[in-house]
Amino acid sequence: MNNIQMVDLKSQYLKIKKEIDKEVLDTINSTKYINGPKVHEFASNLAKYLKCKYVIPCANGTDALQIALMSCDLSPGDEVICPSFTYVATAEVVALLGLVPVMVDVDEKTFNIKAENIKPFINSKTKAIVPVHLFGQSADMEDILSLAQEHDLYVIEDNAQAVGAEYTFTNGETKKTGTIGHIGTTSFFPSKNLGCYGDGGAIFTNDEELASKIKMIANHGQEKRYYHKVTGCNSRLDSLQAAILNVKLKYLDEYNQNRLKMANKYDEAFRDLEQITIPNRSKKSTHVFHQYTLKSESINRDDILKYLSNRGIPAMIYYPVPLYKQEAFSKYVDPNFKIANIENLCNNVFSLPIHSEIENSKQDVVIEAVQSFIKSV
């Protein structure tokens, strides 16, 4: 077998083993397992990296979204607009808080939500927009921000897949994704571009008032111990995970560069195959390729996945079902509701292995298999 993986966490660990092992052992020896100095050190380093005033670590990316929404003082029944083509967490937290997820169309090329998808759904109940920077590239934030400003809406960026990506405004100003709207959230799930060795997440903001609310909510709604101002939750990043992330943050740009190299090589190999569409690259955003996602309407997706799998090559479908078709969200949508573009994406996309540990020979195996499948049909 080729031993090709979607993500190669073992090789990545072995390269930084010495540093990681030392940090982990030091943290264990310190016994400061909860909210220890490592957590603060990591939050401050990440804030510096993102050029963002406040980074509040928490337990995972889903909690990060939930806490971000909780800090916006929304009322039951308020509507939150999000894409229909994303991971479930984006809409799940909205529903969990008694808010209404309004799941809308995305751009067929970038897979990202854009202002014109959002605009028709804004009404007096709309309070927030949650753009997702899907697969590693920023949504077109400039238009989304001006729409939000016009209607006084919160913008919460789900940046779980795009840590390190940079968005360029028309005036040339650049910002890291997750620091563009009112609040940004991310996940440190192991396979994310900046992943720890368990669960982790963080919330970003430049707004001091929101930052103190977010901190309070993530810590049982208390500012002072045993005095609880609001109903909060308990969501913390473990000191051990923070120690690991502190090491890995130094390599994030290198990891993203490696992903980009891999994507460039795939692009070169597949660009001229008319049966498949290579990932779009936005002129306004860098791409950190959390996923390398191809689209094809003319080949049979089950057939190519089987063909790859028979050659020991993993490939995944992100995402096979539109959010509005999920049983969990059925009460928010008419059973016949359908967005042709979203269904088209769910039926025709598939993602190839991409990660920070490039091995040319292994990528060649993937490339040759895709090419030979296309030739055979």
Ligand X SMILES: *Cc1c(COP(=O)(O)O)cnc(C)c1O
Binding site for ligand X (CB under 6 A): 60-62, 86-87, 89-90, 132, 158, 160-161, 187, 189, 199, 201
- Local structure of 279: helix, strand or coil: coil
Confirm if 358 and 319 have CB atoms less than 8 A apart.
Answer: no
* Cα distance between residue 25 and residue 177, in whole Å: 33
Tokens of 313: 């090559």
CA distance 201 to 38: 15
Q: Which is nearer to ligand X, 27 or 187 (CB)?
A: 187
Between 270 and 319, name the residue whose CB sits nearer to ligand X: 319
Give the 3-state secondary structure of residue 178: coil
Q: Shortest approach of ligand X to residue 67 CB, angstroms?
A: 12
Beta carbon of residue 90, minimum distance to ligand X (angstroms, whole number): 5
Neighbour-count burial of 95, counting CB atoms closer than 10 A to its CB (0-12 exposed, 13-18 middle, 19+ buried): middle
Least Å distance, CB 224 to ligand X, is: 29
Exposed (0-12), middle (13-18) or buried (19+): which is 334, by Cβ within 10 Å?
exposed
Contact 211, 54 (CB under 8 A): yes
Shortest distance, CB of residue 198 to ligand X, whole angstroms?
A: 10
Please say which residue, 132 or 374, places its beta carbon nearer to ligand X: 132
Q: Which is nearer to ligand X, 20 or 196 (CB)?
A: 196
CA distances from 241 to 57, 77, 119, 197, 203 (A): 11, 36, 40, 7, 16
Query: What residue has token string 């955003």?
Result: 285
State which residue, 189 or 251, has the beta carbon closest to ligand X.
189
Instruction: Report yes or no: 43 and 36 within 8 Å, Cβ to Cβ.
Output: no
Residue located via tokens 């109940």: 125
* Residue nearest to ligand X according to CB distances in the complex: 61
> Measured from the CB atom, is 167 or 373 closer to ligand X?
167
CB of 159 to ligand X, least distance (A): 8
Q: Name the minimum Å distance from CB 230 to ligand X.
A: 22
Token pair for 33: 């397992």
Smallest gap from Cβ 89 to ligand X, in A, equals: 4
**Choice between 90 and 293, CB closer to ligand X:** 90
